[in-house]
Amino acid sequence: MKLIIGKLCFSPRLLTSLLALVFFCLFVFLGFWQLDRAEYKRTLFAEFETRQSNGAISLDQDKIKQLKKEDMLWQSVNITGQFLEQYQILLDNQVEQGQAGYYVYTPFKIEGSEQVVLINRGWLPIGNNRQTSPEIVTTNNIVDITGVIKNVPKTGMLLKEALPETLGDTVYRVQRINIEELQNLTGTSLLPYIVRLSADSGHGYRRQWHAPGSGESRHLGYAFQWFAFATVLLVIYLLLNVKKIKQDREHG
């Protein structure tokens, strides 16, 4: 293909053009995908702020019956009940400040109800030996706790189905939080969401929670990078394939 514009000749090779087009489209697609992610984070944070501004509600049998799951996400709650300490669920592969560890989940039976909700009590380091359980603090009385309702956390793709590992009489290590699987393990009726124990509530471990949607600026930065890559690619492509006609004749 050859295109002459004034004293300039645009004559790219077919293979070069196809490669440039593929990567240009890929970079633009990734840029818009990051913009979509940023918009999602922005919406999520707005929803979080709205639910938080409503104040905490008491999670009891009536609230469970009245409100749908979608209406309760990111809602602050007060709960009275008892930890079922005979079931400690350690979610593996959780890193805090470069240190490997677990999020500790414990079923919590709501007082005056047969319903049980899974509580994320915070983070614990693995320690020197992965084959032994970290030190677990137990609470065997009726207690009041506060937290925020969240969706069940998502994990990356598992190469194979990983069954819970036993690290002690009451401690189980899992690669993902699967409500149905944990219901079978604990013999309880778990609610379809989890509660993240608030940083100022007792009966937990290290908690440095981030607000949902707090990564919006990161996605905007990634979008800028991908669009910049697309622009640089286009400029390089044009510079390599546009020549002055006079230069072409001298070298001909």
- Least confident range of 107-111, 182-186, 215-219: 215-219
Q: pLDDT at position 11, please?
A: 73
Average pLDDT on 208-222 reads 81
Q: pLDDT at position 36, please?
A: 92
pLDDT in tens, 135-156: 888 888 999 999 999 999 886 5
User: Does residue 75 carry a pLDDT above 50?
Assistant: yes
Predicted structure pTM score: 0.72
Q: Which two tokens stand for residue 121?
A: 């009590």
Average pLDDT on 66-85 reads 86
pLDDT in tens, 77-100: 999 999 999 999 999 999 888 889
Q: pLDDT at position 249, please?
A: 45
Q: What is the mean pLDDT of the chain?
A: 84
Q: Which two tokens stand for residue 133?
A: 């359980």
- Exposure of 201 by Cβ count < 10 A (0-12 exposed, 13-18 middle, 19+ buried)? buried
CA–CA distance, 70 with 226 (Å, rounded to integer): 34
